[in-house]
Amino acid sequence: MSKHAPGDVRNIALIGGPRTGKTSFSEAILFKTGAVGRLGSVADGTTVSDHGSEEKEKKHSVSLGVLHATHKGKHFNVLDAPGYPDFVGEAAAALAACETAVMCLDGGEGLTFPGRKIWELAGQTGRARCVVVTHLDQDALDWADFAAGLSETLGARCLPVVAPKGTGAQFQGVRLVPLGETTDAELAPMRDALVEAAVEADEAALTAFLDQDKRPAEDEAAKLLTMSIATGQLVPVLCVSAVDGRGVEEFLDFAARCLPSPLDGPFFKDDKGNVVAPTSAGTSALAFKTIIDPFVGRLGLLRVVTGQIDVGQSFLLPRTGKQEKIHNLHLSQGKDHSPVTSAVAGDIVAVPKLENLETSDTLCDPAHPRAYQRLAVPKPMVARAIEPVNHAEDVKLSTALKRAASEDPTFVYERDESTGQLLAHGISIMHLEAVLRRIKERHHVEVKASTPRVPLKETITAQAEGHYRHKKQTGGRGQFAEVFMKVAPAQRGAGLVFADDTVGGSVPRQFIPAIEKGVREAMSKGIVAGYPVVDVAVSVTDGKFHDVDSDEASFKIAGLRAFRDAFVKARPVMLEPLLDMEVAIPARFMGAITSDLTGRRGHITGMDSLGDTQVVKVRVPQREVLTYPTALRSLTSGEGSFSSQFHDYEVVPGNIQQEIMAGFKLVEEE
């Protein structure tokens, strides 16, 4: 049996931009609660959370750290999410499993652009939110002014619940603001502000406060404060020294008393939008992350939403319709796992060897089937063409890619039909490099990556006629077919419009499909630059055949060559895909970004403002933005982001088209 009840669980996700002290803070929590015997260091690569080789080498998180601790009878699950936006999928997984998103904010830097994006994601997913200002021992600041300015910066009602004893070199720790009576001249007004905010969470308490000047008792004020935080009406603000742990115990005291438990919400929603409380009938759990471990196999991280999971039970996996048996349950402490026999609503546990379990899957009681909403993750925006260094390892690479995509929903791979390349899609180049490195370490497959080919197309802009006479005599039965045809532009998106306009039996009906097959083969291979041909109307107008020497193979060849002949006479052009992009940047980078986009043949279609964030809307050729993620990072110091979607195909400018065709001819000659 679990040693705690759902009301005693506190699930917190540590979020924020890079270098805001999240991992150091998580380490301090473990040390203060006695979960570890020594305080680890990011610089030394000794933290529990950052245990991977890449994390130790680069001194920052790339994967979600899952930790647990106990404080004053409360069971804490601490999810340490990477700060770089390249690994936003890990942060999304953390948010899916928690009640409270704890935003770590560097007091010296304030809110950075990456931090703002993950803060907004936490709000969009309905999480309760809390702010912890780190590095207060390094940065001297006016705490009252800083805390007061957070409401405007974060767009939420932020109130401090601690008062620091000094800042910078004079930082000695913090004092929690009491919710009961106090004679402290500094804490009393902070207490009043908190109580006034808390009573707004309950209509009866608010009425008593306004009409009767009746303040809630201390315990009641704490409950009302929890309601305010759970519903997003209030964001508590605390501060710590993440490095040496000053202020961490006060954070834990506040979290144990006032941060929401699974019973307080915010609650989960199923795939039909119905709210599911921990007390709902039946047991269910959400797989918020899966890990493919080379030693233990597939490891599923579950957030138990309702009921209780016991070792030996079987649960329905709605996606497959099959039942899965739980053979083992573990609590995770970084890379280490300790066995448990059961888990209650709110618990976060690891389940090994459920080979069919994927990220976003639900496990549920077959008598009470339900599936939870899938993780809200950004669409991958960056693509690289990949192939194994050793082509004999194609099968191993396929298996490795499948497992990587199962583990990380922001990583997608596909075979591009237009170019034939295997494409890997991710959030950024850094994200893709991390995935490919993981594939090499776990599956021993070395992969080389390159810039993808743009899926160009060929078409025509005029009518023309073509002809080909195929004749081959080798002593026995020969080959003969002659085809005359016309070509003309077809409507965009029509593909091939094929017609048989022969008369008088000049081409027997049984050979017409062979001519069409030849045309389609020519279109698939391309004529002038090796790219697929689209949107052409083809009419077979005349031809000749031989009673003995004509066959389907001969007419297929004649059809292919006649089409090529007509195509090159019909003013062929190249078509390139256009993208509609939205680039979100801090306002100070506006000039540099618009100048760069217009230099990429982009057409600015609009602009929006979201606070200090400017959103530039642009239509731009895909081939011009293949390396845009790197350029955007460089131009904005990593503070910009973008999204894109396919718009349409457009004719390639003549000078660029000539370069493409010339390159194709050189390849053919080689």
Would you state the pLDDT for residue 620? 96
Residues 19, 20, 23, 24, CA torsion sign: positive
Q: Which residues lie below 8 Å from residue 559, measured CB to CB, with a gap of 6+? A: 468, 483, 485, 514, 515, 516, 517, 518, 519, 540
Q: Identify the residue whose tokens are 């990587």.
A: 404
Distances (CA, A) of 633 to 36, 190, 588, 600, 627: 38, 41, 14, 16, 10
Equal fold, 382-450 vs 575-655? yes
Q: Which CATH fold topology does 458-570 show?
A: Ribosomal Protein S5; domain 2 (3.30.230)
Host H or E run for residue 497: strand 496-500
Neighbour-count burial of 409, counting CB atoms closer than 10 A to its CB (0-12 exposed, 13-18 middle, 19+ buried): buried
pLDDT value, residue 1: 45
Question: C-alpha angle 172/173/175, rounded to 5°?
Answer: 135
Residues 325-378 pLDDT 10s: 999 999 999 988 999 999 999 999 999 988 889 999 999 999 999 999 998 888
Sign of CA dihedral 629, 634, 638, 640: negative
**How far, in Å, CA of 353 to CA of 563, rounded?**
56
Contact partners, residue 65, CB within 8 Å, separation at least 6 = 23, 26, 48, 49, 50, 51, 78, 79, 80, 81, 334
Residue 456 is predicted with a pLDDT of 92
DSSP element (H, E) containing 306: strand 297-306
Q: Is residue 216 left, alpha or beta, with left meaning phi > 0 and alpha meaning psi from -120 to 50?
A: beta
Name the residue among 29, 19, 45 with its Cα closest to residue 138: 19
Rg from Cα positions in the chain: 32
Beta bridge partners of residue 488, listed in sequence order: 537
pLDDT per position as a tens digit, 454-500: 989 999 999 999 999 999 877 677 899 999 999 999 998 899 999 99
pLDDT at 156: 85
Tokens of 108: 């010296």
Classify 619 as helix, strand or coil: strand
Work out the angle between the directed axes of helices 512-525 and 552-569 (0-180°, nearest 10): 50
Q: What's phi and psi for 523, nearest 5 deg?
A: -65, -40
H/E run at residue 630: helix 628-636
pLDDT of amino acid 206: 83
**Residue 478 pLDDT:** 87
Cα separation, 224 vs 237, in Å, equals 17
Angle at 223 between CA 220 and CA 228, to 5 degrees: 125
Query: Angle at the Cα of 656 (from 653 to 662), degrees rounded to 5?
Result: 135
The correct answer on CATH 2.40.30.10 for the domain covering 269-364 is yes
What is the residue type of 95? Answer: L
Query: Tokens 């457009």 map to which residue?
Result: 650
Exposure of 439 by Cβ count < 10 A (0-12 exposed, 13-18 middle, 19+ buried)?
A: buried
For residue 320, what are its two tokens? 């497959």
CATH number of the 382-450 domain: 3.30.70.870
Query: How many angstroms separate the CA atoms of 426 and 434, rounded?
Result: 10
CA 56 from centre of chain:
23
Separation in Å, CA 553 to CA 503, 542, 566: 22, 18, 20
Residue stretches of the chain with pLDDT short of 50: 1, 667, 669-670
Question: Which fold would CATH assign to domain 575-655?
Answer: Alpha-Beta Plaits (3.30.70)
CATH code for the domain defined by 6-177+233-266: 3.40.50.300
Domain boundaries, the chain: 6-177+233-266, 269-364, 382-450, 458-570, 575-655
Name which of 107, 32, 82 is nearest 427 in CA terms. 82
pLDDT value at residue 665: 64
CA quadruple 31, 37, 43, 46: dihedral positive or negative? negative
